[in-house]
Structure 1
Amino acid sequence: MSSSPEDASLTAPKPVSLPDPGPDFLSETQWQVLMGIMDTITPALKTKDQKDTTSHDTSIEYLSISQYSKATTQLRQSTSPNEISFDLINAYLSENPSSNPTFSSVLKVVLAQLPPSKKRELRYLLAILSTRPGSLLLTSHSTPFPSLPLSSRTKILHSWRTSSLGSLRALFKSLTTLGKLSFIRSSATFFPLAGFPTTPSDWKPTSSYPYQFLQFPQPIEIDTDVVILGSGCGAGVVTNRLANTFGPSLRVLVLEKGHHFDSSQFPLPQTSGLSQMFESGGVVESDDGSISITAGSCFGGGGTVNWSASLQTQDFVRKDWSETYGLDFFETKKYQECLDYVWEKMGCGDGENLELNHGNKILLEGAEKAGFEKRKRVPQNTGGEKHDCGYCCLGCWKGEKKGPVNGWFPEAVERGDIKFAEGFMAERVAFEMRDGCKVASGVEGVWTPREGGEPVRVKVKAKKVVVSCGTLWSPIVLMNSGLKNPQIGKNLYLHPVNFVAAVFDEDVRPWEGGILTSVVGDFENLDGKGHGAKLEAMAMLPSHVMPFIPWASGKDYKLLAAKYRHLNSYISIVRDRDTGYIYRDATTGGPRVSYTPSEFDRANNLVGVVALAKILFAGGAREIHPCLPGFEPFIRPDGDADKTEKKFKKWLERLKAHGNKPPVTSFVSAHQMGTCRMSLKAKDGVVDPRGRVWGAEGLYVADASVFPTASGVNPMVTAMAIADWIAQGLCEDLKEVDTKPAARL
């Protein structure tokens, strides 16, 4: 029987916790080997007089009294001496993964979301390390990995880093990053040691719009006019435009595979936030391990977890899209009107009223001292509010980000007939043949109750279907729907990022203030074709920055991590010229990423890294840490300024020579674009200039996947402007058909 969405019941969100990782895929022996690796990355540190001679605990590194005393003194200096007790310092130093149940829980959640092939690879690796380690360690060791002393394990990890085998270099990067990430997310001592308040100091409960979400207690077929897959920035704009054009006469159903969290629950805890709000727990790696991807996977998508930065499409990119790809629209007044429309809706302003925190001030002031000219403040999509919130990459508790959840959707609900469902995994778009043409007639998928329970099959009949699942998932939905266009999934752009961290003498409290409020653009057009690096500040929540701090040894990493409240981190983010692609995992049907930062794009990243080092040196940083494994930091000496300058210049030359070759170097992407490219002809892309899928009627794509190339700036505003243009065309198409609502049964 066909029903309307009103036949489903409604619920509110539940409290947030770590998701159930499901059944273990590692044997007990394999798990012990993995924990041996994790203990090597962040080991317990104790004095030699604490050593139990009757125990052979290889997860502890024993220091001499003088070494331990030096370490505790450094920690007192690096934290807040008047607040931190020696008991807390000792607890931090002696903490290790194998003694922390929360570490195991976090690790299992992350591992559970690996693709099946990567799970098999991990099982194979751990089996070798537990039975015949010498064959993989490239040494004569016959002792199982967990039984080796920490010094030997550390040498083995570094042998992977420098191996001639790319797979072992990728293994070093992946496992050390995973170990650091899990430690920071689970540590009971790191946050109090660093003085980091897990809840913002000015926090007070504020609620989002009171959304209601459909429930489907049994298999059902429902009917609507327009169904939208996804709830991110593109979906928000399309929904809003439909509601403002047709009002309650048009029924719109928005389906999201993730879940909604009310503002009163934000910011989510760092232990569970990445797992609940990001694709695959925030850890999506390309096949060769060369780049990690973070993508929002919750109600509101990237608009819920982004950093508020709002930049319009630059003229040279618009010209490229117009002249190179024949998409004349991008140089027209109409496109500028779309940009201005979303800009004004979100209250982006000009950014001049922003109060810069320490990290963003250093970027602008250091750039000026270093002689860089293209410095500017970055507007925010916060309705004109200053938005001094460094936490909102785990959800905006103030509700000020005017993205889908706090802007576009609420207005749409007030003006139109809009329904939402969370926990809905779209499997395919359904089609009918009409007059020899393939016409989208709805979607099919599976809805899973938020509180647990059996999945329910749901069919949705609709006159128009809009796919706004993001660059990773939109091509997968089209592939799963039987569309054979070879361009689907191709032309993947990722804006690859390299990191530089810096430690300052002053207490910078990096979590305070707006996240990304400044940018330096002197290097954004290194080839004369719009390819190059922008320099920006990073989100400074510990779980976002500390996993990418260089790892040389467990002791060194722990001592460096403890300097967190004196640390800022920055990114060299590149408009990539060269591409990868998305394809379906053979087992799960989900997205897999084939992408390696090219030599051309890496060179541009390195130019940005060198420029950041110059900015930080000019800004007075005590330590500069390019996040390039195997490369030493610059430590500013006390004394003669001329000698310090000469030392720094020599260090810069070594930095340039060291390079940033993958897979061992950390490359990260927070911007994914292009896998359903907009094109003038069907052979060159996936959608036409109005977002209509080539070869199928009534089917649209409206998100960053339709970009012809990388945007070169944070893509939110560009994605929204294009989505508005597509939505306007959708409205015109709907007016050509009967929009009278079907009978509600």
Structure 2
Amino acid sequence: MTSPKEIPLPEPDDFLSESQWAVFMALMDTVAPAILPPKSISSSATAGNENDMSVLRLSEKEYSEAAGKIRAAVAPHEVTAEMIEEYLKERPSENPVFEKVMKVVLSGLPPAKKRDLKILLSVLSTRPGSLILTSYGTPLPQLALEDRTKVLEGWRESRLWAIRGLFKSMTALGKLGFLRSSNSFAPLTGFPSVPKEWVATSSHPFEFIKPATEIETDVVIIGSGCGSGVVTNRLANTFGKGVKVLVLEKGRHFDASYFPMSQTVGLSAMFEAGGVVESDDGSVTVTAGSCFGGGGTVNWSASLQPQDFVRKDWVETYKMPFFEGKEFQECLDHVWEKMGVTDKITPNHGNQVLLNGGRQNGCKMCKIVPQNTRGQPHNCGYCSLGCANGEKMGPVNGWFPEAAEKGAVEFVEGFQAEKVLFDEKKKGKKVACGVAGVWTSRKGGETVKVVIKAKKVVVSAGTLWSPVVLMNSGLKNPQIGKNLYLHPVNFVAGAFDEDVRPWEGGSLTTVVGDFEDLDGKGHGAKLEAMSMMPSFALPFLTWRSGSDYKLMAAKYRHINQFISIVRDRDTGYIYRDPHTGHPRVSYTPSDFDRAHNFVGVLELCKILYATGAREIHPCLPGFQPFVRSNADSKKTDKAFKKWLRKLKKHDNKPPVAPFSSAHQMGTCRMSAKAKDGVVDPRGRVWDTEGLYVADASVFPTASGVNPMVTTMALADWIARGICEDIKGELVDGKIPARL
């Protein structure tokens, strides 16, 4: 096998009419337009319709200049004139893969947002309606490309939040769809579909059962992410085959032979809603794993323990002293050792830039980020689309295989858990007795309603879904779904003269922590590198026009991108969509938190300048990048300082400024008193018996670091308590059935 196995894109919900779709594709053609040469220098049989106003037709001089810029952008990778022409003339509306990708992404929108999109596109398809949103009074598909670009710019500058949000949403969709579907981008930039040392491998041979309409087990665990993996492992190692455990996952398992997945299908197959979950007001895009292994399958391997000031806060403010105690540290150490966490890392170009630049600018907390890779170096920047070599010790490669070998553990994929079931009350508490849900087969879409009877129920469905399961179960605690933390992120990109090849090496292996405590209470920004998979990084680059974006994206092999990631003080909440029952995100980065983001943005720009970046691009629409000239250093320093002063005045206000989140925490908060949270200090849901939550949703606040290790340590702490509870109930080595 010379490449990973492939899966098809899912069939989308095609909810737009023909006229609405025409308007949508006209917008997409504006974001990533066809850029055509004069016929006199075209290498193809035709160079497009001379009268087509939806393409950008360049003069011979302009086209030669654009081609020259691309040659410089992809050097030392060699390209032909035909490759450049193919890239420039590629057009979303003529690419069936783009159409399919976009329909899949739009299928994941909540019904209310689908309705709003249909209304918007219908308005833009008529002359009177278009006048409302464009000032042209002409249906948008009939406008010339130049005028469509002016329409988008007008949206960006609108006084109305919703209209400014349209600019960000539409340009982000166009950029994302272009990068996921392009036939020309990879050949042009030299981006390989797999790491250079890729070989075909297989992961643990998990067996997934087809559930009957009724199943009995001892412990049922909803979800298969980092919390679930640790709980399952602890149960199996404690009781062996004496306690039956059933793990339920709503997503699918993919063997390592499918990894890394392609840019086209990976987000749809492995992430919640295809990787595009927007907050209600469009200010934040949330990325969450939705496959077997959850976030542990798609994260970037970063393994950081919570800082002392966070643990102290959880002790002093939230009155849970065990967070500073020996036992919780033992849980952290257990997780650390089990995964073979190592700092034997050789940073790639981007991560080394962060280290070097931070130190040059006087930062004292420039560190290697340990990785959960069995003590081995891990040079795979593709891990956000699945770890092909199985080195990343998340649930799938470490915790579950050992549990399956030692205990009576079974797995179900494609199972949407709807609610926890309860039987009689005991001492005023509702007693969990199982789970109800719907199983969908992988092939054919067969569905079966299933009831699982169990003595213990562990909800480990993640910060988005765990509160929804509890809400569906009839629990009335008003704290369920509240206290949502997201670690919001802003972005800065740097283009270098040297050949960076950003896909090589580990994704996130260094950090600058000097700005993590800006308020003296543990709130501030960390500076980190990010995954440089094209569909992860390049959609956040600022869009100024379609031609500008295409030329900027072509610089990919010379680009490093970085994040200013904030431990947020202020929260949002999760609630159920009234039509689908799926989680909806209500969250807007507060002025307090985004001010910390902006400190990080400024410091990243200084780091890029110190390390010689040719171009510095804060990903903030409406602001021009800094481009280093060949003038003497004094003049260049003066120009950079002047540019930086302008940047300080620009700000990062949503909804136009892109904010993203890959860390969701807190919606089933752990608390010392029932009125303050959802679970007690051992993860038991308040006012219930036999029901636990074990995932990042139990965090009292944001962790301030990549939450995997904290999630696993808390899950181990909770699992130890579950094991003690079970031991107290055993009769002849078994949990007795409830009467």
TM-score range, shorter chain: over 0.9
The 5 Å alignment of 1:460-539 reads 460-539=452-531
Work out the CA distance in 2 between the residues paired with 1:679 and 1:175: 41
Q: Quickly say closer, same or farther: Cα 1:410–1:55, change in 2 above 3 A.
A: same
Matched, 1:722 2:717: no
The question of whether the paired residues in 2 share the 8 Å contact of 1:692 and 1:701 is answered with yes
How big is the shift at 1:59? 2.5
Work out the CA distance in 2 between the residues paired with 1:82 and 1:562: 12
Work out the CA distance in 1 between the residues paired with 2:341 and 2:721: 25
Matched, 1:109 2:104: yes
The 5 Å alignment of 1:59-458 reads 59-80=54-75, 83-132=78-127, 137-216=132-211, 220-349=213-342, 351=343, 353-435=344-426, 436-458=428-450
Identity %: 67
Q: Secondary structure at the match of 2:389?
A: coil
Q: Secondary structure at the match of 1:625?
A: strand
How big is the shift at 1:202? 1.0
Aligned partner (choices 523, 538, 543) of residue 551 of structure 1: 543
The letter for the 2-side match of 1:359 is G
The 5 Å alignment of 1:15-34 reads 15-22=6-13, 24-34=14-24
Work out the CA distance in 2 between the residues paired with 1:272 and 1:512: 21
Work out the CA distance in 2 between the residues paired with 1:544 and 1:136: 35
How big is the shift at 1:452? 2.2
Aligned partner (choices 669, 683, 690) of residue 691 of structure 1: 683
Any gaps of 5 or more consecutive residues in structure 1?
Answer: 1-12
Work out the CA distance in 2 between the residues paired with 1:342 and 1:369: 34
How big is the shift at 1:695? 1.5
Give the root-mean-square deviation of aligned CA atoms: 1.5
The question of whether the paired residues in 1 share the 8 Å contact of 2:729 and 2:735 is answered with no
Q: Secondary structure at the match of 1:439?
A: strand
The question of whether the paired residues in 2 share the 8 Å contact of 1:134 and 1:141 is answered with no
The question of whether the paired residues in 2 share the 8 Å contact of 1:545 and 1:569 is answered with yes
The letter for the 1-side match of 2:698 is V
Work out the CA distance in 2 between the residues paired with 1:521 and 1:53: 52
C-alpha distance after superposition, 1:299-332 (max 9, x if no partner): 0000000000000011000000000010111011
Work out the CA distance in 2 between the residues paired with 1:52 and 1:180: 23
Work out the CA distance in 2 between the residues paired with 1:235 and 1:81: 46
Work out the CA distance in 2 between the residues paired with 1:194 and 1:455: 44
Q: Quickly say closer, same or farther: Cα 1:231–1:648, change in 2 above 3 A.
A: same
The question of whether the paired residues in 1 share the 8 Å contact of 2:214 and 2:451 is answered with yes
Q: Which residue of 2 aligns with 1:650?
A: 642
Work out the CA distance in 1 between the residues paired with 2:6 and 2:647: 47
How big is the shift at 1:53? 9.7
C-alpha distance after superposition, 1:185-217 (max 9, x if no partner): 00000011010001111111111111000113x
The question of whether the paired residues in 2 share the 8 Å contact of 1:423 and 1:447 is answered with yes
Number of residues paired by the alignment?
A: 726
The question of whether the paired residues in 2 share the 8 Å contact of 1:688 and 1:694 is answered with yes
TM-score w.r.t. the length of structure 1 is 0.96
Q: Quickly say closer, same or farther: Cα 1:369–1:144, change in 2 above 3 A.
A: same
Q: Secondary structure at the match of 2:264?
A: helix
Matched, 1:710 2:712: no
Work out the CA distance in 2 between the residues paired with 1:297 and 1:134: 39
Q: Secondary structure at the match of 2:419?
A: strand
The letter for the 1-side match of 2:238 is T
Work out the CA distance in 1 between the residues paired with 2:83 and 2:6: 30
The letter for the 2-side match of 1:39 is D
Q: Quickly say closer, same or farther: Cα 1:91–1:231, change in 2 above 3 A.
A: same
Matched, 1:593 2:585: yes
TM-score w.r.t. the length of structure 2 is 0.97
The question of whether the paired residues in 2 share the 8 Å contact of 1:80 and 1:195 is answered with no
Q: Secondary structure at the match of 1:592?
A: strand
How big is the shift at 1:58? 2.9
Work out the CA distance in 2 between the residues paired with 1:206 and 1:29: 46
Q: Quickly say closer, same or farther: Cα 1:14–1:452, change in 2 above 3 A.
A: farther
Work out the CA distance in 2 between the residues paired with 1:211 and 1:716: 23
How big is the shift at 1:47? 2.4
How big is the shift at 1:131? 1.1
How big is the shift at 1:741? 6.5
C-alpha distance after superposition, 1:370-404 (max 9, x if no partner): 11111000000001110100001100001001110
The letter for the 1-side match of 2:250 is K
How big is the shift at 1:155? 0.5
Any gaps of 5 or more consecutive residues in structure 2?
Answer: 41-45
Q: Secondary structure at the match of 2:451?
A: strand
How big is the shift at 1:132? 3.7
C-alpha distance after superposition, 1:13-64 (max 9, x if no partner): 9952211113x11000000000000000000001244798975423310111
Q: Secondary structure at the match of 1:465?
A: strand
C-alpha distance after superposition, 1:676-732 (max 9, x if no partner): 000001100000000000111100000000000000000000000000000000001
Q: Secondary structure at the match of 1:477?
A: helix
Matched, 1:37 2:14: no
C-alpha distance after superposition, 1:93-143 (max 9, x if no partner): 000101100000000000001000000000000000001455565454221
The question of whether the paired residues in 1 share the 8 Å contact of 2:130 and 2:138 is answered with no
Work out the CA distance in 1 between the residues paired with 2:445 and 2:544: 45
The question of whether the paired residues in 2 share the 8 Å contact of 1:43 and 1:60 is answered with yes
Q: Secondary structure at the match of 1:213?
A: coil
Q: Quickly say closer, same or farther: Cα 1:432–1:90, change in 2 above 3 A.
A: same
Q: Which residue of 1 aligns with 2:734?
A: 740
How big is the shift at 1:737? 1.5
The letter for the 2-side match of 1:40 is T
